Amino acid sequence: MKQVILSLIVITHCFTVASGQSSCLIYASPDKLDEANIEGIINPAKGNNGVGSSARQYFTTIKGSKEDLLIIQFEQTIDVAQFMVKVNRLAFPNYLLIHLRQLSKHQNIHLFKPKIGMDRQGILNFFLDQPEVLSASWNAPVQFRDSIPNDELYDTQWNMERIGAPKVWEVTTGGTSFHGHEIVVAVLDKGFDLTHPDLFANYWRNEAEIPNDGIDNDDNGYVDDVYGWNFRQNSPIFPVERHGTSVNGIIGAVGNNGIGTAGINWNIKMMPLAIEYVDEVIAAFDYVLEMRERYNQSNGAEGAFVVATNGSFGIDGAPCEEYPQWGSMYDPMGQAGVLSVAATANQDWDVDQVGDIPTSCESEFLITVTNTGQDDNRADGSAFGKETIDLGAPGESTSTTSLAAGYREDFSGTSSACPHVSGAIALLYSLPCALIDSMALTSPAAAAAMMRDAVLKNTAPIASLADETVTGGRLDVYEAMKYLHAYCIASESEIKEGNFKELYLGTKDLIRVRPNPTSDFLYIDYSSLDFRPLRIRVYNMLGQKMFSDRHVEPMPFEEQTIRLNVNDWPSGVYAVNLFDLSRKITFKFRKD
């Protein structure tokens, strides 16, 4: 063996094959592979130890696209240099293999440049057939999928990143359900700016009402309620108030439109309902109930598909028993499919002891929220309650819409925290799951309870909230989405057992192979850790590989199942193997 070294190019393991030609194991730094370096190590007329014009031709091909590079992962015990000697002997003269660099020493993954002398798939198949190789694939550019909106103030919206919204935006940005139902959040507040350019497109419109004709066209008791109702002045005209405008910006400022901020829902319909007193709150809730019941009963032909109400208001220190009529509204709205979200007091006290309306009210369809800061701790001056306050949500110095087509970066308090949760509920209803959508109309209370569980069972654990809230955590809409993904692909028995999220997304594993035995098709159900890809192979009992999928990548709301046609396979016993970093999981099945 002769070794020639110049700069960072090393040619080693040169050998002569039966045809009299030479093959070499070549290591190189790709930035050094230029004509000058080639001239320094090659004698074009005679060659060095058989490395001549063919090597020159090889080096000139290294400058091609990065997509012509091959990524190979080996078993941990494999010596890559010895592997290359073997491969270059087998493959010559179709192609030579050059080792560029090690990508991962922990996983024994390396980057190579083959001199292509056959089709790309042929080269890939050749390496996949080598017993030392765990996986091989061509290099490829990645697609950036962070779904970050281009709204000019988004960089100031720390709260969206904190609750995991960008990961959900890769799947949905809100607006409609699986079957196209327009999702509505009813916002009860003192007033709203309906003309704000970042909000106007996302306000709900009552299509059954003819504007300004003085007639109650939809016969719901409200004349010209085109956008909702002003219960403060019994009018379809709304007072313009900063507070409600800022609340709406968090729920549904138009996203990715190049201006201002982005709401949790880039697309949504917000139903404004102006209130100031308890009687108006009750009347507004009744309006919501009427519109949702109409929608349910008409299969969407009338009313509105209201999935949540937002209540960034209350009465400090008043127990729910003092206003039983108010508290009695949550259950019937929930039965119709509406979850209500309420902000607790901006007071540093324990609601369990002091009381609060509405966050001390008891209803399975009411979610109560306190305010957390950028450090994830409960913000100073925000109420808490181990038995009454369900969770925390960002509400300290958040950026949102304001008056006069403007914006603010100082919206704070539980009023800011509350719309994060109501907005999250609306976003979850827009996920691509037919089961959620069907339940919302056929079993609306069950759908609302499922959404409540998705939010409350999947909060991000925060140590300081453990003794201050029911869940001990802060809103995490991405974890809630994962819960609903697993729910939507789980069997009825798995849903009943309640462990479907852990079963499908808790770890890399094989769940089942079915049917067993089989004669035609085999279905392999698998679990994944947080939608990460995995590798599955099937072998016969002689160790021969019958099937290999090296990049099984689960997608949100698609079944985690591989379907194999084994009709032509010989009868016998086979092993399905899932390869993880630290273990190999095997299920056996019989083919009849």
List the CATH number of the domain containing 301. 3.40.50.200
**Is 145 contained in some domain?**
no
Given a cut of 50, whether residue 298 has pLDDT beyond it is: yes
Joined together, the tokens standing for residue 483 give: 């819960």
Q: How many CB atoms lie within 10 A of CB 251?
A: 29
Bridge partner list, 539: 545, 575
Q: Residue 64 has what pLDDT?
A: 59
Query: Around 575, how many Cα atoms within 13 Å sit in the side-chain half-sphere?
Result: 13
Residues 547, 418 share a domain: no
Residues 98, 174 share a domain: no
Q: How many CB atoms lie within 10 A of CB 122?
A: 12
Q: Residue 91 has what pLDDT?
A: 62
**Is 554 contained in some domain?**
yes
Residues 481, 550 share a domain: no
- Spatial contact of 45 and 28, defined as CB atoms under 8 Å apart: no
The SS3 assignment for 127 reads: helix
Joined together, the tokens standing for residue 25 give: 């194991």
User: 39-43, 122-126, 406-410, 461-465: lowest mean pLDDT where?
Assistant: 39-43
Q: How many CB atoms lie within 10 A of CB 518?
A: 19
Mind listing the pLDDT tens digit for each residue in 170-189?
Answer: 999 999 999 999 999 999 99
Q: Residue 97 has what pLDDT?
A: 79
- Spatial contact of 4 and 41, defined as CB atoms under 8 Å apart: yes
Provide the CA 239 distance to its chain's centre, in angstroms: 38
- Distance separating alpha carbons of residues 393 and 253, to the nearest angstrom: 18
Q: Is the dihedral of CA 68, 69, 70, 71 positive or negative?
A: negative
Residues 486, 513 share a domain: no
Residues 78, 41 share a domain: yes
Given a cut of 80, whether residue 395 has pLDDT beyond it is: yes
Q: Residue 141 has what pLDDT?
A: 67
H or E segment and range at residue 188: strand 183-189
Quote the strand ranges of 54-145, DSSP E.
70-74, 97-104, 109-114, 133-138
- What is the radius of gyration, based on Cα positions, of the chain? 31
- 58 phi and psi, to 5 degrees? -65, -45
The SS3 assignment for 38 reads: helix
Q: Cite the DSSP H helix spans in 430-476.
A: 434-442, 444-456
- Spatial contact of 99 and 27, defined as CB atoms under 8 Å apart: yes
- Distance separating alpha carbons of residues 334 and 309, to the nearest angstrom: 10
| C-alpha dihedral, 475 to 478 to 484 to 489, nearest 10° | -160
Q: Is the dihedral of CA 238, 244, 250, 256 positive or negative?
A: positive
Given a cut of 90, whether residue 583 has pLDDT beyond it is: no
Q: Residue 137 has what pLDDT?
A: 83
Residues 486, 514 share a domain: no
Q: Residue 582 has what pLDDT?
A: 64
Given a cut of 90, whether residue 354 has pLDDT beyond it is: yes
Q: Residue 16 has what pLDDT?
A: 35
Residues 382, 461 share a domain: yes
**Is 276 contained in some domain?**
yes
- Spatial contact of 556 and 485, defined as CB atoms under 8 Å apart: yes
Mind listing the pLDDT tens digit for each residue in 134-171?
Answer: 888 888 764 444 468 999 999 999 999 999 999 999 99
Residues 112, 42 share a domain: yes
Q: Is the dihedral of CA 25, 29, 30, 36 positive or negative?
A: negative
Structural domain including 63 reads 4-138
Given a cut of 70, whether residue 4 has pLDDT beyond it is: no
**Percentage of residues in the chain having pLDDT higher than 90:** 71
Tell me, what CATH number does 530's domain have? 2.60.40.3080
H or E segment and range at residue 269: strand 269-274
- Distance separating alpha carbons of residues 100 and 31, to the nearest angstrom: 10
Mind listing the pLDDT tens digit for each residue in 435-470?
Answer: 999 999 999 999 999 999 999 999 999 999 999 999
User: 200-204, 429-433, 578-582: lowest mean pLDDT where?
Assistant: 578-582
- Spatial contact of 343 and 310, defined as CB atoms under 8 Å apart: no
Q: What is the mean pLDDT of residues 100-117?
A: 80
Point out the domain boundary residue: 429, 461, 491. Answer: 491
What are the CA-CA distances from residue 127 to residues 256, 429, 479 (Å)? Answer: 44, 45, 39
The SS3 assignment for 148 reads: coil
Rounded to the nearest integer, the mean pLDDT of the chain is 86
Of 418, 301, 398, give the one whose Cα is nearest residue 358. Answer: 418
**Is 147 contained in some domain?**
no
**Is 583 contained in some domain?**
yes
Sequence-separated (6 or more) residues with CB below 8 Å from residue 379: 370, 371, 372, 373, 395, 396, 412, 413
Joined together, the tokens standing for residue 102 give: 């090690």
**Is 498 contained in some domain?**
no
Given a cut of 80, whether residue 61 has pLDDT beyond it is: no
Joined together, the tokens standing for residue 105 give: 């020493």
Q: Residue 439 has what pLDDT?
A: 96
The SS3 assignment for 344 reads: coil
| C-alpha dihedral, 300 to 304 to 309 to 310, nearest 10° | 130
Residues 516, 459 share a domain: no
Q: Residue 18 has what pLDDT?
A: 33
Q: What is the mean pLDDT of residues 23-27?
A: 40
User: 269-273, 568-572, 581-585: lowest mean pLDDT where?
Assistant: 581-585
Sequence-separated (6 or more) residues with CB below 8 Å from residue 264: 160, 163, 165, 174, 250, 251, 252, 419, 420, 423, 424, 426, 427, 477
Residues 510, 487 share a domain: no
The SS3 assignment for 328 reads: coil
- Distance separating alpha carbons of residues 335 and 333, to the nearest angstrom: 5
**Is 320 contained in some domain?**
yes
- Domain count of the chain? 3
Point out the domain boundary residue: 138, 173, 188. Answer: 138
Residues 521, 414 share a domain: no
Residues 443, 538 share a domain: no
Greatest mean pLDDT among 13-27, 92-106, 139-153, 214-228 lies in 214-228
**Percentage of residues in the chain having pLDDT higher than 70:** 85
Q: Residue 320 has what pLDDT?
A: 92
- Distance separating alpha carbons of residues 387 and 469, to the nearest angstrom: 7
In the structure, what pLDDT confidence band is assigned to residue 92 with cuts at 50, 70 and 90? low
Given a cut of 90, whether residue 26 has pLDDT beyond it is: no
Q: Residue 102 has what pLDDT?
A: 87
Q: In what order do the strands lie in the sheet with 4-6?
A: 4-6, 9-16, 22-27, 97-104, 109-114, 70-74, 133-138
**Is 146 contained in some domain?**
no
Point out the domain boundary residue: 441, 464, 491. Answer: 491
Q: Residue 549 has what pLDDT?
A: 76
